[in-house]
């Protein structure tokens, strides 16, 4: 052992070259007849290496070898384990819990999202209904302008001013919507514009409700002032025509079924559109004739109204 405070011995540059030459030659001394200094250095280095080869060395401890190999094997297994993708042992135990959590989130999303989607759809129907009524108003104004201010009316309108025979005329065989269909037949309106979009999915809904004429009053647009002219379908007449199939209970303030009885769009003679949550204009029910208190008391026979009554039918 060389003391720590003493420098380590090292080969000179000439000795290093001699050892390198021996290693290149396979530790075989090549005979040099010139007996050069380099050849002498090679021979000296080779003699020294042979002494090291004969130096007695103890056999390695087998326990140390075995423990070293075992440690190497453990490290190799650890490396392979880190490279593998393991499925957690608790996966199967938590599958049902995960499924329940996902189902709960889905139910909450449906519970919150479904009413919002329904309300958005209802709002879209209400807006489209108002657009159709606005188009209908323009069609009525155009028809009135071409017919000396008269509102569209079929020949059946004349029977309303007479005393009708109730055995021959009632709400089941009288079609007031024919007046609006006259606009379609004469090219003033398209078929879709005289209906609420909600009627497409409801049988028996028919066209928009249209103003019933007032007795002894010209049926003219410019003779009415600002007053309701058309609106969503009349639920009272629908109940009479369809009976229990209409699924409309008797009411003193019936709203149109077009919008789940939340209210109705109303077209005025000045072509404005107003949403009414209740079918009343200045205390007058637009779906019931004057003096009729509820939907069960409506006369079976249609007839002209009195005293400027606002009554919309179809």
- What integer pLDDT is reported at residue 166 of this predicted model? 46
How far is C-alpha 147 from the chain's CA centre? 49
Q: Please, are residues 229 and 175 in contact by the beta-carbon 8 Å criterion?
A: no
- What integer pLDDT is reported at residue 53 of this predicted model? 66
Please give the average pLDDT of every successive group of 10 residues along the chain, which has 314 residues. Answer: 55 78 67 68 76 66 75 83 66 61 72 71 90 95 94 75 57 85 93 87 81 86 90 89 69 84 94 94 90 81 82 91
Burial annotation 54-83 (CB, 10 A radius, 16+ → b, else e)? eeeeeeeeeeeeeeeeeeeeeeeeeeeeee
Q: How far apart are CA 17 and CA 223, in angstroms?
A: 129
- What integer pLDDT is reported at residue 163 of this predicted model? 47
Angle, helices 91-146/178-185, rounded to nearest 10 degrees: 80
Burial annotation 153-168 (CB, 10 A radius, 16+ → b, else e)? beeebebbeeebeeee
- What integer pLDDT is reported at residue 194 of this predicted model? 92
């Amino acid at each position: 052992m060389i003391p720590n405070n003493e420098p380590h011995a090292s080969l000179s540059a000439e000795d290093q070259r001699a050892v390198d030459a021996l290693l290149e030659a396979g530790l075989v001394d090549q005979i040099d007849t010139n007996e050069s200094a380099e050849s002498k250095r090679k021979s000296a280095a080779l003699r020294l290496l042979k002494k090291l080869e004969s130096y007695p060395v103890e056999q390695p401890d087998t326990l140390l070898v075995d423990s070293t190999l075992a440690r190497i094997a453990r490290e190799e297994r650890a490396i392979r384990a880190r490279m593998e993708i393991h499925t957690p042992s608790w996966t199967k135990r938590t599958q049902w819990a995960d499924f329940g959590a996902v189902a709960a989130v889905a139910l909450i999303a449906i519970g919150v999202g479904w009413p919002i989607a329904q309300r958005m759809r209802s709002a879209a129907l209400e807006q489209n209904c108002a657009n159709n009524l606005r188009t209908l108003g323009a069609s009525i104004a155009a028809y009135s302008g071409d017919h000396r201010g008269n509102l569209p009316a079929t020949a059946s309108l004349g029977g309303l001013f007479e005393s009708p025979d109730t055995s021959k005329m009632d709400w089941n065989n009288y079609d007031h919507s024919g007046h609006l269909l006259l606009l379609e037949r004469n090219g003033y309106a398209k078929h879709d514009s005289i209906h609420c979009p909600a009627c497409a999915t409801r049988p028996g809904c028919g066209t928009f409700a249209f103003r019933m004429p007032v007795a002894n009053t010209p049926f003219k647009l410019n003779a009415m002032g600002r007053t309701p002219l058309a609106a969503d379908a009349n639920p009272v007449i629908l109940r009479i025509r369809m009976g229990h199939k209409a699924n409309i209970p008797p009411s003193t303030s019936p709203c149109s079924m077009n919008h789940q009885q939340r209210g109705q769009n109303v077209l005025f003679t000045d072509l404005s559109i107003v949403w009414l949550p209740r079918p009343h204009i200045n205390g007058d029910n637009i779906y019931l004739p004057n003096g009729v208190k509820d939907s069960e008391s409506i006369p079976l026979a249609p007839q002209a109204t009195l005293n400027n009554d606002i009554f919309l039918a179809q």
